[in-house]
């Protein structure tokens, strides 16, 4: 059950951010809003110079902004070299999802040998199956299922309708959004003369600390070893992570990406929406993959940006280009023959 969002003074918030401030130190702040909509109890920020004109009429109690943008601004201000980053840290203090009253809803089902840490909330119609271990200050929202043998680390949050099928281990401060499924069987099949034979998926799923998993994202369990996400991996909505995939720390992946089984993605990578990764490939650290790119072989060099998606164009132009593409091999052969004949 969520509790009321706390109120912080300007001085208290600036201290938490370790930034200098200007204005009334006792000014109460209890929420966040944009520059154009903020009121006297709201925190706002100015990171993009295009919104500098909104600052003149802004009624926010306090604004996080750079030193050069604070000149002539008479209301409360927190001075920051990176306003957007400090806003993210400051706004977390006013996020109601981070504040809740501990307890177990009367409709929740808690199985045998469940270890439940102090300060937890177990929401309506949630199920904790036998042998589950829940850390301290964990929020499990309505309709979640935590399967047998799963471990949820301290200060984690399963928002609602999250399913941990089994053999899933979450680190500390993990956030999982509605509809996500972790630990379902990977797509493992062997072929015989009569059809398909299912390969048992006997591994688990392991997430490090500070990971975040978006709505309706699926992370399959490993066939033998675990599917693993290191610390601070951030996955957007509707991503498919196949069995035995390994994703390095601090990598962020946008929506609708598909990662086939046993792919290994390095640390500090960024992957844009709709990209795809073939199975068993390796991607080095610090790589950026742009939207709709299909990665079909190893990327061995750290850093760098890779693309293969084709930007849209008028349909008539696209049809003509596709028609010519069908003849590309024939044209290439003719060109090679002409070059050979001219030598």
As annotated, the active-site residues are 243
Tokens 């940006």 label which residue? 305
Q: Is 83 helix (H, G, I), strand (E, B) or coil?
A: helix
Ramachandran angles phi, psi of 121, nearest 5°: -120, 125
Residue 202 near residue 185 (C-beta atoms within 8 A): no
Query: CA angle at residue 180 from 84 to 176, to 5 degrees?
Result: 40
- d(CA 258, CA 266) in angstroms, rounded, equals 16
Structure tokens at 110: 């808690």
Structure tokens at 78: 């927190």
Number of residues that make up the chain: 343
Distances (CA, A) of 173 to 153, 155, 208: 7, 5, 9
For residue 171, how far is the Cα from the chain centroid?
15
Cα dihedral 296/297/298/303 (nearest 10): -50
Q: Is 330 left (phi over 0), alpha (psi -120 to 50) or beta?
A: alpha
């Amino acid at each position: 059950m969520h509790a009321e969002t706390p109120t912080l003074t300007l001085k208290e918030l600036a201290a938490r951010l370790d930034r200098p401030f200007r204005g009334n130190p006792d000014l109460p702040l209890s929420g966040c809003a944009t520059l154009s909509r903020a009121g006297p109890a709201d925190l706002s920020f100015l990171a993009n110079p295009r919104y500098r004109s909104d600052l003149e009429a802004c009624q926010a109690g306090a604004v996080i902004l750079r030193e050069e943008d604070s000149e002539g601004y008479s209301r409360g201000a927190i001075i920051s070299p990176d306003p957007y980053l400090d806003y993210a840290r400051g706004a977390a203090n006013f996020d109601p999802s981070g504040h809740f009253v501990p307890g177990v809803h009367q409709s929740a089902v808690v199985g045998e040998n469940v270890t439940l840490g102090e300060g937890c909330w177990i929401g309506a119609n949630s199920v904790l199956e036998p042998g589950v271990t829940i850390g301290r200050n964990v929020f499990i929202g309505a309709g979640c299922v935590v399967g047998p043998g799963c471990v949820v680390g301290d200060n984690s949050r399963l928002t609602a309708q999250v399913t941990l099928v089994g053999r899933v281990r979450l680190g500390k401060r993990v956030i999982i959004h509605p509809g996500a499924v972790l630990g379902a069987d990977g797509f493992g099949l062997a072929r015989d003369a009569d059809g398909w034979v299912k390969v048992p998926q006997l591994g688990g799923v392991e997430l490090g600390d500070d990971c975040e998993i978006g709505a309706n994202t699926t992370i399959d369990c490993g066939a033998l070893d675990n599917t693993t996400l290191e610390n601070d991996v951030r996955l957007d909505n509707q991503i498919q992570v196949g069995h035995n995939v390994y994703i390095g720390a601090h990598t962020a992946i946008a929506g609708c990406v598909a990662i086939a089984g046993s792919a290994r993605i390095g640390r500090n990578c960024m992957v844009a929406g709709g990209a795809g990764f073939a199975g068993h490939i390796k991607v080095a650290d610090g790589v950026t993959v742009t939207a709709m790119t299909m990665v079909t072989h190893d990327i061995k060099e750290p850093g760098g940006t890779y693309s293969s998606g084709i930007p849209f164009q008028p349909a008539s132009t696209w049809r003509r280009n596709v028609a010519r593409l069908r003849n590309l091999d024939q044209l290439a052969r003719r060109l090679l023959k002409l070059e050979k004949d001219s030598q």
